[in-house]
Amino acid sequence: MDSLTQAVLGAACGQAVLGRKIGPKALAWGAIAGTLPDLDVISRVFSEHEIYGLLYHRGLTHSIFITLLAPPLLGYLAHKQRGVVAVLFGLLLVLFMGGMGLKEESTVLQGIGLFILAITAWVGWRYWGSKNPPKLQEEPGWKSWSWMFFWAILTHWLIDAGTSYGTQIFEPFSSYRFSFNNIAIADPLYTLPLLLAVMIIPFFKNKSWQQGINTTALVLSTAYMALTFGIKAKVNAVVSENIKAQNIEELSYVTYPTILNCMLWQTTIETADAYYYGVYSIWDEDSKIKFQKLPKQHQLLDRWKGHEFVDILLWFSQGYYNVTENPDGSLQFNNLRFGLMGFGLLEDSDGYIFKFKLAEKDGELSVEQVRDMDKLQPKLLFSLLWNRIWDKHPAVNK
């Protein structure tokens, strides 16, 4: 899920394990622990091509293997060399931001990247060096630190596995991505209880109150997560009914919520020669879904069959993709596990969200992600999202 959610969930885990010993400072250490798995994005700094980011993000650092291996080591470092842990975290965090700047062609961005790296290294060494570790009210033992890191890392990939992006929890033994598709990558109703708890706990001096507030937030967010599974089961039933009623010869289908909520859902149904895309809100007056047919055209990829980049795209799509041809002869690979922009209602957009352009350059395959940032209309998209939740036939007001 989004970085804010991971940070506040980690903070809540830190407070739950260490709060009675070190007070609200446990929130900060938990936030660090909860953010650590996502520092795998640093791999993009060193990758030769952006497509490798699909392989490495939510890979080994989000696995059961690391969940069991890393906490004892991190717990020992936090117990014995707390300053080192803080310095390493800070350096890793800005290595991504600064390093990505260095990869840009712009000299200005490269300079900003170098500046960020240099300043952070100096600040980290000056204020968080191992000779001056942060002081705590009561020193937790190695086991307590280890448990804190364990729960923060475990819950990190557990909620990530709920999103469509998926998580490779069995790395390095299997690269299969688990995707429960029950929650959006950003959902404020899950995040809000945790965020509020993190914000108000420091104002309470009584540790029992601090722990009570933290526990309440964890219970509420967990209950909401459980609710999304219940809603998904209902949506699956509706989709199955529509498949039968509309005589769709389905091979498989997937359902997934739209961004920022668990009330409006999308579905992609696979058939022999096409996919059917539809949208359903739990507030729809009737359960009939209007589907949009998306031809597969998988044969367009035959020329590049077996190419490493194509194999990565196929693996990441988990079988839900189609291919379209652009006017210039290049191909567009569209991942259908993330739905359509504006639910396919926008006339001036092909609707595909997660897409890559494939073209031949000097006899080699060139692959680049198509972001269409200049075509995004946030106000229109959020308006359409809100209206579609409550109205089955929303007006598209540009």
- Provide DSSP, 246-309: TT---SEEEEEEPTT-SSEEEEEEE-SSEEEEEEEETT-SS-----EEEE--GGGGGGGTT-HH
Confidence of residue 93 (pLDDT cuts 50, 70, 90): low
Please check the confidence at residue 294 and state whether its pLDDT lies above 90: yes
Residue 98 has pLDDT above 50, yes or no: no
**What's residue 123's pLDDT?**
55
Spatial neighbors of 342 by CB under 8 A, at least 6 apart, are 349, 351, 380, 381, 384, 396
**At what angle are helices 207-245 and 188-200 packed, to 10 degrees?**
180
Sign of CA dihedral 338, 344, 345, 347: positive
Which two three-digit tokens encode residue 171?
Answer: 């790395």
Helix axes 25-35, 3-22, angle to 10 degrees: 140
Are 319 and 253 a contacting pair, CB within 8 Å? no
pLDDT, mean of residues 146-158? 96
pTM above 0.85, yes or no: yes
Q: Residue type at 316?
A: F
Contacts by residues 210-219 (CB-CB < 8 Å, ≥ 24 positions apart): 210/15, 210/19, 210/23, 210/24, 211/15, 211/16, 211/19, 211/20, 214/12, 214/15, 214/16, 214/19, 215/16, 217/12, 217/193, 218/12, 218/16, 218/194
Residue in the block written with tokens 């009570």: 212
List the beta strands (DSSP E) in the chain.
252-257, 264-270, 274-281, 292-295, 321-325, 331-340, 352-361, 364-370
Tokens of 275: 């996919």
| pLDDT-derived band at 124, boundaries 50, 70, 90 | low
Phi-psi map region of 385: left, alpha, beta (phi>0 left; psi -120 to 50 alpha): alpha
> Which two tokens mark 393?
């036939």
Contact between 165 and 120 (Cβ < 8 Å): no
Q: Which two tokens stand for residue 96?
A: 């991504």
With 90 as the cut, is the pLDDT of residue 43 above it?
no
- Rounded Cα–Cα distance for residues 229 and 209 (Å): 31
Average pLDDT over residues 313-334: 95
Structure confidence at residue 76 (pLDDT)? 87
Is pLDDT of 24 > 60?
A: yes
Q: Which two three-digit tokens encode residue 48?
A: 């030769």
pLDDT digits (tens, 9 = 90+) for 67-88: 999 999 889 888 886 655 655 6
Residues 235 and 282 sit within 8 Å (Cβ to Cβ): yes
More confident residue, 45 or 263: 263
- Residue 102's pLDDT is what? 43
Q: What is the pLDDT of residue 363?
A: 84
Residue 217 has pLDDT above 60, yes or no: yes
Burial class (CB within 10 angstroms; exposed 0-12, middle 13-18, buried 19+) of 233: exposed
pLDDT in tens, 357-379: 999 988 899 999 998 766 778 89
Report how far residue 101's alpha carbon sits from residue 110's, in angstroms, rounded to the nearest whole number: 5
